[in-house]
Each structure stands twice: as C-alpha cells, then as structure tokens.
Structure 1
Amino acid sequence: MKFNNSINMLTTEELIKIYIDEFEASKERKLMIKGENYYKVENDILNRKMYRYENERPVEDETKANNRLAHGYMKTLVDDKVNYLLLKPYTLTCDDENYIKVVEDVLGNRFQKRLSQLGIEASNKGIAWLHVYINSEGHFKMIKIPSEQIIAIWTDNDHEELQALIRYYDVEVYEGKEKKYITKIEYWTHENVVYYVMQDGEVILDSEMYLDENNSYDGHFKINGTPSSWGRIPFIYFKNNDYEFPDLQFVKTLIDNYDLTRSDVGNLLEEIKNIVYILKGYGGEDLSQFVRDLSYYYGILIDADEDAGVDKIENNINIEAAKEHYNTLRKDIFDFGQGVDKNSDKIGNSPSGIALKFIYSGLDLKCNALEGWFKWGFEELLRFVNIYLEITKQSVLDKEITIVFNRDIAINEDSAVNNVMASQDLLSLETLLAQHPFVTNVEEELTRVKAEKKEKDRERAKLFGSDRFSNIEDGADEE
C-alpha cells in the first residue's frame, strides 16, 4: 500500500480508516489468521457440521457421528523448519571482536529465542515484525508484534522500503461493570508516532495519550524529557519468502482433505457397523424402534405376512484404498510443504550423508528463502543498534558485521566422527571441532582442549621430573 493523502483531499484519519477496513477484509490478513490457527491445530475441520434434509432444506443433525480429526502437519512443518535454521546459536562475524561484543550486549541473551519467535511468525503469516524501542530506563529493547496488527505502507512495489506504518489492536476496558473493547491505533512515520482510537466507526485522536501537557506529536521517544527520533520507522520486517506467503498457502487443501477423509472414515466406522438391514413387513413404528429392539432384545417383531422378514447386506470399508489415499496425501503434504517425513521409508535406520542431503534438500531450499530475508532484517536491526550506541554516547564502528545461521543439519554421527579422525593430519583443530557432531560451541571446546593439554603436560613433567614444561603458565598459549 502507498500512502497518498492528496486523493480527494482526504484527511490522515480518513485514510487510516480506509486502510484498516481494506486490510480487515483482505485475503492476506485472513490467511495470516488461518496460518496461526493451523499451527495451533485449530484446523477448519473442527468447524464442520452434519446435516440432514427436511422438506428439501438442510437442517443440522447433531445425532449423526461427526468425528472432526485435526492433524498437526503445519506445526510439524514449521517447527522443523525453524529449528533446522534458527535453533543452534547464531554467529556474528566482524574484523573487530570488541564491536561484536558491544552488539551482542545490546541485543541481549534472549535474541536467539527472539529469532525463533520471528521464524514461527513469518512461517505462519508470511511476514514477521520486530518493533525496537528504548524503555524508560534507557535500555534498547525489542518486541515481536503480531503481523495481523500491522499495515505497512510501502514506497515501492517490491515492499522493501517503508513510507509509513499503521498498527491497530484491541484493548479490554471496563465502563462500570461492563467489559468493552476499544481499538487503539498508532500511525508511525520516520520522525514521529501519533496515537488514535476508533470511536463510533471514526478515527480520532486518543485523548488519553495526550492528557499530559509534556506529551506531543514529536519524536518516537524521549531523552531526558526531550523528544527524539530514530530517523526511520522503528519496525523491522522479516519475510518468509519473496511473495510474503505463509507456509500454509502451499498445503492447506491437502491438509483439509486429509482431515476430511480421516474424519469421514471415523464416521463410517462409528455408524455403519458393517451391516445394512432390509426390512419387509416390519411391525414396529419406525427405524429408530427397530434399532432399539435389535440392540436391547436381540430380536424384532414382524407382521404375519408370508413376504415379511429381515435381510441384511454386509458393508465393508475398503481399508486398503483408504490407506493408499492417506499415504499419498501425507507424501504430498511433505513434498509440497518442503518438509522431512521422518516416517518415510527413504530415511532408513542409518542413512548416508548423501541420502540425508537428498532427504533435506526441500527443507534446505525453503530455509534459503527465510535465511535471505532474515539476514536482510538483521542488517536493518544493526542500523538501530548503531543509532542507539550514538544516542548513549558509546563507541560506534563503521565496520561490516554479518550474522551466520548455523543450521542443525542431520548427519550420520559414526561417519562424521570417522571423517574427523581421518583428517587430523590435514586440518586445524578448530576446523575439526567445528565438524564434530558432539561439539556445540567451538570456542569453548578449544579452550577446554588447550586447558586439558596443559594439565597433561604438567602431569608428565611431575612424573618424569623434567623441566621441559616448567615454562607453562595458566592461560599461556603454547606454540
């Protein structure tokens, strides 16, 4: 969306209302909600109702079997993707290690978890939003904002540069004992933020936000009571892919059909009981009485007619055909969802490295799209970190710093260990440790290895009474 308040001389408030109405009705936002619902296994099948026809009109029938089996394929696909790319600790690379330390201190220990949250949000909704701010204590903070609350107004068709941003959300309030919901609205530009509220279908200024005479429309935050601005809109986007599609877009119909057919078979097993009865000259009142008599008395009354009687037809469900359909659907879900079916026969008990690469090829491709946009988002985040360092009078270095996402790649551990052992005379210890499946932090492991080696050297020196190792000191590096 592009913001142009010159159209028909509309006011900013009127344009905000138009944007909100359009976004509320958009397919984009509805798919965001669906994406999160399916991740929570709140699939559409849970809303299914059973009907019968009376006078050629459908009437809900609550007496019929209505199995509603929702399957958590979306949670599996999204969790596997996010854990594969974002679970292992990220690595920052830069020529200046001190600068890395400063950036890590600003981002905080929870940034790794924040990345995973953004990964889930982007996968479920097509795009994730991170809001950066400075709290009342002067600390740099970040918070993930639900994507269905954000209306981005872009300057370009590629959706890379923000012109403005609208955030709207409902808050719970009480008027006396009555609970009500009020829609709060924030309109963000590069220089300031203005607070509105929706009242009687109109966007008006939020008077509560401006009761304090010290509050104004200037800036994004205050420093020592003085309004200040980031100079850019403090919301950072992390896209799922170039089209901003959620992962559900590619597999929803497949999951829905899997849910539906599994539920239908459940209904058949519950209702049919494998036998259909044909009644001739039945003396009861209706079919419901027939079922009750047969269930309770194990017999029924029929009229004294030579043609009267009860026949039956065996009804057998073709289980093999149903299984084949389920297996095909399951394969399609993982193929088109670019996931890894861990129950697939292709994996086997101990797959080779080449086989694992093939099995994970779809997941790798899907993660490549997410990784590219997350690196883009991280670059934007660093701009805000540097602005914060300038505001707080800390040293800012004009040096390039990049983030590396260490994928949690599935490997054959026995093969990996053997390869490491066979490469000892060819590669450095640091490189070998980075490839070892038991090592999670290379730097920490290097420190442990060096410390253990020094301790063993000291023990040898004591054992053989040699002064060869007498120059070894704690913390000193060996040649």
Structure 2
Amino acid sequence: MVILYVDETGNLRFKRLNSVEVIPVWLDNEHEELDYAIRVYSRELYRNGTYNNENYVEIYRKTGVEYYKMNNAKLTAIEKKAYLSVDDKPYNWQKIPLICFKADELEQSLLKRVKSLQDALNTLISDFMNNMQEDSRNTILIIKNYDGENLGEFRKNLSTFGAVKVREDGDVSSLQVEVNAGNYESIVKLLKKTIIENGGGFDSKADTLGNNPNQLNIRSMYSDIDLEANDFETEFQASFEEMIWFVANHLKNTGQGDFLKEK
C-alpha cells in the first residue's frame, strides 16, 4: 500500500504503508475503487523519562484525512485535513490517494499459501530429531528389583550418572520404537514438493530435464513461476496506471504540463 502526498515544498511524495496497518473498504466487488481506508498504527514516544507506545487511527476519505488517538478502544479526534493546500486553501483529489499493489487478484500473500505446509515440515523434522536422540525420557524402561525408593530417584540417577543401582537379581531394560527414516524422508519430499507447487515456484534441485534439456522441457519447468509472474505484472500495471493518474494531475495543477491524455 502506497500513499501519495504533497510535502511543504510542493513536491509530490510517495510513502509505503505497512499493509498490516491498513484496512481498505471497497466500493465494488472487484476491489478497484476505494470507499475509504482505515490505518491503525502505534508509535513509541519518549516522555517523562520512559518510552510509551501510543496508538493512532487515520481514516482516508475523498473529503480528506481524519486523525484520531486511541486510548482503551476509545477514539479522540485530533484534526481533519485536506490532501492538498494551494495558497492556504484546502483541496482534495478526485480519488483517495492510496495505491494498492496486489500480488494477484485473490489478494492472498504467498505466506498464506505455504505456511501450514511449512509448519508441518518443521514439526516433522523436529519429531524425527527427537526420536533419533538417545534420551532415556523417550523410551519405556522396564525395571526389575530396583534398589531404591521411588522412580524420581531412579530418573535422577540415570540422568546424572548414566547408571542405576539394582539388586543382585535386578535388571533394567528398555522398549524403543524403531524410527523408520525412510517414512520420514518420503513425507519430507512430499511436503517440499507441495510447498513449491502451492507457492508457484520450481525445484532447482529436481532432475526434471534429465538428459534432454530442450526448450519445451525448460518452459514446462518454469511454467508455474511464469504464471505467478504474469499475474504479478498484471496487478502492478493497474497500480502504476493509478499512480500515473495522480502524477499527471499534480503536474497539471502545478503548471508543469498536461499529460493526462498521454499513454
């Protein structure tokens, strides 16, 4: 999300806003025209010898910007300003000067498509590592004629000294679940493949070309990432066209030329 504004010297500026802070409200189902937008953010301010976080809310409308301070879910109005000022007179754009740069028409981040799969992969690798470790807590111990009072003491001695004391006819054995590394490896490969497919990428380590790296095979290998790039380009072209509209109007308003009909 990018906001356009005119600074004190009359120059048109661009500022990137954190998309997490902005809530756009659209007029149409295609999400092409904004009705208004809400920005919620916090600032760390130094006052009375300490740093404190203060929350603020900005509401962008066609009639200007409304500034609020938020305390305990209550809004206190600070001021309302127009987007432009010419000879100390307030003016506004015909549109809200917020430009949305979308990755695709679904407006979904790449993280949303792969996060659950990546979490599953991380959990699987962590579980495999835990099962492979030689830790007495990961095994079932069979104790016969233990020369002690309680199991807590037994665990302590085993953890501290790596040995336990049993009676003459006593014994300690363990039941362990055999870890099948092949099963883990198969699931890891499946998860990695699905992450690449859902993310619209390609596996640079996969031997998909084989001994025949012709043009058709190369195009097939890059087909998913090519489609992602095309969607990305289409959305950004629309955003840049919207941005150029503001730039052309600013140049016209400041007497630097009329470029509204330029393509």
Same fold (TM over 0.5): yes
Residue of structure 2 equivalent to 1:134: 6
The counterpart of 1:233, out of the listed 96, 111, 129, is 96
Amino acid across the alignment from 2:107: E
> Partners of 2:164 and 2:185 in 1: how far apart?
37
Distance in structure 1 (CA, Å) of the matches to 2:160 and 2:76:
69
8 Å contact from structure 2 (residues 36, 62) kept in 1: yes
Kindly provide the amino acid, as one letter, of the partner of residue 70 in structure 2: M
Task: State which drifts further: 269-278 or 143-152.
Answer: 269-278
Shift in CA distance, 311/218, structure 1 to aligned 2, threshold 3 Å:
closer
**The one of 141, 144, 148 aligned to 1:284:** 148
Task: Quickly say closer, same or farther: Cα 1:275–1:170, change in 2 above 3 A.
Answer: closer
1:164 aligns with 2:39: no
**Offset from partner CA, 1:88-147 (integer Å, 9 cap, x none):** xxxxxxxxxxxxxxxxxxxxxxxxxxxxxxxxxxxxxxxxx1111122222221111111
Q: Say whether 1:325 aligns with 2:197.
A: no
Distance 1:346 1:137, change over 3 A: same
> Which one of 46, 63, 73 corresponds to residue 191 of structure 1?
63
- Find the partner of 1:375 among 231, 237, 241: 237
Q: Aligned partners of 2:9, 2:212: CA distance in 1, in Å?
A: 54
Deviation at 1:310, TM superposition (A): 2.6
Number of corresponding residues? 262
Distance apart, 1:316 and its partner CA: 3.1
Pick closer, same or farther for the CA change 1:197–1:292 going to 2, 3 Å: closer
1:67-466 alignment runs, 5 A limit: 129-206=1-78, 217=80, 219-272=82-135, 277-287=141-151, 289-290=153-154, 293=157, 299-305=163-169, 308-313=170-175, 315-347=177-209, 351-401=213-263
Deviation at 1:205, TM superposition (A): 1.2
Equivalents in 1 of 2:159, 2:211: separation in Å? 49
**Contact kept in structure 2, 1:185 and 1:198, CA below 8 Å:** yes
TM-score normalized by the length of structure 1 = 0.50
Q: 1:315 to 1:155 in 2, by over 3 A?
A: closer
- In structure 1, the residue corresponding to 2:133 is in which secondary structure? helix
Equivalent position amino acid for 2:53 in 1: Y
SS of structure 1 residue aligned to 2:117: helix
State the alpha-carbon separation in 2 of the partners of residues 134 and 324 from structure 1. Answer: 57
| Structure 2 unmatched ranges of 5 or more | none
Give how far 1:375 is off: 0.8
Q: CA deviation at 1:339?
A: 1.0
Q: Hey, which of these two has a bigger chunk of helix by percent? A: 1
Q: Give, in whole Å, the separation in 1 of the partners of 2:58 and 2:161.
A: 70
Q: Aligned partner of 1:376: which letter? A: A
What's the CA shift for 1:259?
0.9
CA contact (8 A) 2:248 2:260 kept: no
Q: CA RMSD in A?
A: 2.6
How far does residue 261 in structure 1 lie from its aligned partner after superposition?
0.7
Q: Deviations over 1:358-402 (max 9, x none)?
A: 11111112222222111111110010010111122112234443x
Cα 1:295–1:239 shift into 2, 3 Å: closer
Alpha-carbon shift at residue 262 of structure 1 (Å)? 0.7
Report the alpha carbon displacement of residue 350 of structure 1 after superposing the two structures with TM: 8.7
Q: Is the 8 A contact 1:218 1:228 kept in 2?
A: no
Unaligned runs of 5+ in 1: 1-128, 210-216, 402-479
Question: What is the rounded CA distance, in whole Å, between the counterparts of 1:311 and 1:250 in structure 2?
Answer: 47
Query: Kindly tell me: are residues 182 and 299 of structure 1, through their superposed partners in 2, closer, same or farther at Cα, counting changes over 3 Å?
Result: closer
Give, in angstroms, the shift of residue 287 of structure 1: 4.5
Percent identity for Structure 1 against Structure 2: 30
Determine the C-alpha separation between the residues in 2 that align with 1:266 and 1:260: 10
Letter of the 2:120 counterpart: N
Q: Is the 8 A contact 2:249 2:260 kept in 1?
A: no
Counterpart of 1:387, as a letter, is N
- DSSP-derived class of the 1:159 partner: coil
Distance 1:349 1:391, change over 3 A: farther
Q: Tell me how far apart the structure 2 counterparts of residues 154 and 310 of structure 1 sit (CA, whole Å).
A: 70
Q: 1:176, 1:224 → 2: CA distance? A: 39
Please give the alpha-carbon distance, in whole angstroms, between the structure 2 residues aligned to 1:221 and 1:271.
69
Displacement of 1:272: 3.9
